[in-house]
Amino acid sequence: PLNQSAAAAWTSSPQYEIWLVNRDQNGSWASPVSFVYPDGVSALSIKMNNSGNAIAIWERSKAKNLGNSSIEITTYDVSTKTWAAPSPLSALSDTNTSMKYPRLEINDNGEATAIWVRRNSGSQQGKYQLMSRTRDTQGAWSSSIVLSESSNLIAFPALSLNQRGDKWVAWQEFLPNKKVFQVKGRFFSNETATYPYWSATEIYSDGTAHAGFPQLSLDSQGNGIMYWREADQAKLIASHHFIGTTQLNGYLSMSATAHLTVMNRARAGRLSSKKQLSDQGHDSFNANVETAEDINIKFTANGKAIAVWYGFDGDDYRIFASSRDALGNWGSAKALSASGYHAKTPRIAIGDNGEVAIIWGRSDPVAGHVIETASLDPESENWSSPLVLSKSNQTAVWADISFDGGRSYTA
């Protein structure tokens, strides 16, 4: 945040332990605190607002190797400099109910929203439910609500929350009649406290090819940007060609490569400028299973925006970026990482004047894997050359970056 505070979270094994640490406004890191979960913990993420208050969220297993889990959180209070004891957002059930894909956002007013996917995973498997809870400015959490319910698989939801309390949620849902995943979503308008409302379910991908891993962002007025991964050319392939399948007359829709599709959404709901963002023939990824909660498409300043991804150009996996102008037009893809090395898993941070900093991991013949960064100057619109941040004789992975105010960042 802008006051130089920071927070970090990670997990360790074999004790299945969550670790949390914060940095104060003077740049001093406190001693980390930890919580032990003998039966397992996963999908940990953390968010902090510009006041320095933070919330961490994760999926907690009740018993190893059983489909029974809950969503838990802990909060950091900057005034007391303490982490609260973990508390459940969803009930820890004894009926093999799974809670997956936790996502959370917090704004500078202290409002927060969490979403996750719920399903009974026992012998009587139930419907998939996309759940949500919201915290008000006083810290009180609402009851859970169901944003979407389906007999078909719902996975990899995405969430954005702006300063006025608007929310945009998206997810991928399987269409059994077309045998593909489709990207859907809903928008919550908080324009007035008297009449806040959720939109009906909106359809974003056309359903002709697999589409998923949506990522999205809202600006301060409730306008949005989104991109997702979509199959290049879907083909129906007999399922018995795949090891482990038993349905001889069934088919699977498969594609060797995929591109990224981007679009704009106006606050009132109008969708525009939907186009293929990544280059044709590149196998492009805006996220993967391990980093699906990370958002790599964001507004910068004055209505402009940036999207980052990695894709295979025929020789190497490389980091690419595309900028959107103030009129909503997305530009062509620009390679940021050098050829000759594989580069993946980018993360992005936006400065207060539209500066952009990107960090990623790259293969290296000496260290094995290093962390690189590049930045965009908003005035010249020029990208810097990649700079290696990690030590040259040590392998480094899973980088992240955040903006601290001025022209300072923490990686």
Helix (H) or strand (E) holding 154: strand 154-161
CA distance 108 to 130: 25
Give the HSE-up count for residue 3: Cα atoms under 13 Å, Cβ half-sphere: 14
CB 37 within 8 A of CB 13: no
Band of residue 45 on the pLDDT scale cut at 50, 70, 90: very high
Main-chain dihedrals φ then ψ at residue 33, nearest 5 degrees: -110, 160
pLDDT at 244: 44
- Give, in degrees to the nearest 5, the angle at Cα 242 between 236 and 246: 95
- Residue 115 covered by a domain: yes
Beta strands 258-265 and 202-203: pairing type? unpaired
Please state, in angstroms and rounded to a whole number, the distance separating the CA atoms of residues 147 and 138. Answer: 24
Identify which has the larger pLDDT, 84 or 98: 84
Would residue 406 count as lying in a domain?
Answer: no
Beta bridge partners of 175: 180
Q: What is the tens place of the pLDDT at every residue in 253-277?
A: 567 789 999 999 999 999 999 999 9
CA angle 126, 61, 140 (to 5 degrees): 85
Cα R_g (the chain), whole angstroms:
21
> CATH number for the domain including 22?
2.120.10
> Percentage helix, strand, coil, to 5, in the chain?
0, 50, 45
Please provide residue 290's backbone torsions phi and psi, each rounded to the nearest 5 degrees: -70, -25
Residue 380 resides in a domain: no
Decide if 239 contacts 251 (C-beta within 8 A): yes
Let me know if residue 320 belongs to a domain.
Answer: no
Residue numbers of the domain that contains 169: 6-295
The rounded distance, in Å, linking the Cα atoms of 12 and 30 is 19
pLDDT digits (tens, 9 = 90+) for 157-200: 999 999 999 999 999 999 999 888 999 999 999 976 667 889 99
In 3D space, the residue among 279, 273, 184 whose CA is nearest the CA of residue 228 turns out to be: 184
pLDDT of residue 243: 47
Say what the pLDDT of residue 274 is.
Answer: 95
Residue 121 has pLDDT above 70, yes or no: no
Rounded to whole angstroms, the Cα distance separating 232 from 256 reads 8
Higher pLDDT, 341 or 253: 341
Instruction: Specify the pLDDT at position 245.
Output: 43
Q: How far is CA 115 from the centre of its chain?
A: 12
Average pLDDT of the chain is 89
- Is 337 part of a structural domain of the chain? no
In a domain, 389, yes or no: no
Residue 50 belongs to some domain of the structure: yes
Q: How many distinct structural domains can be found in the chain? A: 1
What mean pLDDT do residues 317-329 have? 96
Q: What is the distance between the alpha carbons of residues 289 and 284, in angstroms, rounded to a whole number?
A: 14
- Asked if the structure places residue 377 within a domain, the reply is no
pLDDT band at 94 (very low <50, low <70, confident <90, very high): very low
